[in-house]
């Protein structure tokens, strides 16, 4: 092989090595980030305290709004508690992290057009205010759509970040819902910010939809 030929092979090898190193670095960063998020006190509380209470309240069909790779462990906890989970996310690339019973690609504000009559007895609406549903008007539209697929007296858990949003979204929803008593836990609880994995406080508020189906 000529000198220039060897030079070209070395250049191609360098390019490939650079590509592989970049891929491995991105993959490792994602795993580290996911583990950090999964281990947050607010997430641990959701999985080990709220979820068993949701199961004890008799909930068996959950709609999980918004999916990311760090939610996969959450589905396993639900499965262990015999809660069937469906999910929705407007981002098509998030579909690979969809829930085991079914995933809808679309905006939660159009959920009733996607579920073909399926209804839910609990909705987890965590990390959506300020991450796509960003105004009081958006929040009311999301509530109206979710209420159509929520069974009478079903639960909705809203997790949101004071400081990330100005609180107007949740304020628009509170008058439309009733605070729920879930086992021994309070209807709302707040966790402080926790390093890079959670830059703002995280607050959970638990409500019931009304008795009447909308
Ligand atoms: C911060 S992540 C929260 C993920 C998950 N709910 C959790 O608790 O970890 C926000 C997710 O919600 C999705 N999302 C934002 N607005 C949405 C909307 N209007 N309808 C459906 N999904 C939405 C985003 O694409 C993103 O995957």
C-alpha 159 – ligand 1 centre gap (Å): 11
C-alpha 133 – ligand 1 centre gap (Å): 9
Q: Looking at residues 139-159, what average pLDDT do you find? A: 97
Q: Which residue lies with its CA nearest to atom 3 of ligand 1?
A: 127
C-alpha 67 – ligand 1 centre gap (Å): 6
Ligand 1: which of 37, 87, 89, 169 to mutate, most ligand atoms within 8 Å of CB? Answer: 89
127 lines ligand 1 (CB under 6 A): yes
Q: What is the per-residue pLDDT for 214?
A: 41
169 lines ligand 1 (CB under 6 A): no
121 lines ligand 1 (CB under 6 A): no
Is residue 172 within 8 Å of residue 181, measured between CB atoms? no
Q: How far apart are CA 20 and CA 90, in angstroms?
A: 30
pLDDT tens-digit series, residues 70-117: 999 999 999 999 999 999 999 999 999 999 999 999 999 999 999 999
Is residue 26 within 8 Å of residue 183, measured between CB atoms? no
pLDDT tens-digit series, residues 131-141: 999 999 999 99
200 lines ligand 1 (CB under 6 A): no
Name 62's Cβ contacts closer than 8 Å, sequence gap at least 6: 54, 78, 83, 84, 85, 86, 99, 120, 121, 122, 123, 124
Per the prediction, the chain carries an average pLDDT of 92
Q: Which residue lies with its CA nearest to atom 6 of ligand 1?
A: 66
Name 140's Cβ contacts closer than 8 Å, sequence gap at least 6: 172, 173, 176
C-alpha 19 – ligand 1 centre gap (Å): 30
Q: How far apart are CA 123 and CA 141, in angstroms?
A: 15
Domain range 41-208, its CATH number among 1.10.3720.10, 3.40.50.720, 3.40.50.150, 3.40.50.300: 3.40.50.150
Of residues 2 and 107, more confidently modeled? 107
Q: How far apart are CA 146 and CA 93, in angstroms?
A: 22
Q: What is the per-residue pLDDT for 18?
A: 80
Q: Which residue lies with its CA nearest to atom 15 of ligand 1?
A: 132
pLDDT at 212 over 70: no
pLDDT tens-digit series, residues 26-81: 887 888 788 889 999 999 999 999 999 999 999 999 999 999 999 999 999 999 99
Q: Looking at residues 188-199, what average pLDDT do you find? A: 94
Confidence of residue 213 (pLDDT cuts 50, 70, 90): very low
Is residue 197 within 8 Å of residue 33, measured between CB atoms? yes
89 lines ligand 1 (CB under 6 A): yes
Where would I find the beta strands (DSSP E) of the chain? 61-65, 84-89, 102-105, 120-126, 150-160, 178-179, 188-191, 202-208
Q: Where are the domains of the chain?
A: 1-38, 41-208
C-alpha 28 – ligand 1 centre gap (Å): 23
Confidence of residue 211 (pLDDT cuts 50, 70, 90): low
What's the length of the chain?
214
């Amino acid at each position: 092989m000529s000198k220039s030929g060897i030079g070209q092979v070395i250049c191609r090898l360098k390019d490939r090595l650079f590509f592989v190193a970049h891929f491995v670095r991105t993959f490792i960063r994602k795993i580290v980030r996911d583990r950090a998020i999964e281990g947050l006190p607010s997430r641990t509380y959701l999985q080990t305290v709220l979820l068993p209470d949701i199961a004890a309240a008799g909930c068996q069909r959950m709609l999980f709004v918004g999916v990311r790779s760090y939610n996969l462990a959450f589905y396993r906890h639900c499965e262990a508690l015999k809660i069937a989970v469906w999910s929705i996310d407007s981002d098509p690339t998030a579909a690979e992290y969809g829930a085991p019973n079914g995933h809808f690609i679309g905006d939660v504000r159009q959920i009733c057009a996607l579920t073909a009559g399926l209804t839910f007895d609990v909705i987890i609406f965590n990390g959506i205010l300020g991450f796509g549903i960003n105004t009081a008007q958006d929040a009311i539209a999301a509530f109206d759509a979710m209420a159509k697929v929520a069974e009478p007296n079903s639960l909705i858990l809203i997790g949101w970040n004071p400081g990330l949003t100005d609180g107007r979204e949740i304020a628009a929803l509170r008058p439309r819902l009733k605070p729920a008593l879930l086992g021994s836990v309070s209807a709302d609880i707040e966790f402080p910010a926790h390093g890079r994995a959670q830059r703002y406080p995280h607050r959970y508020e638990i409500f019931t939809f009304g008795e009447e189906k909308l």
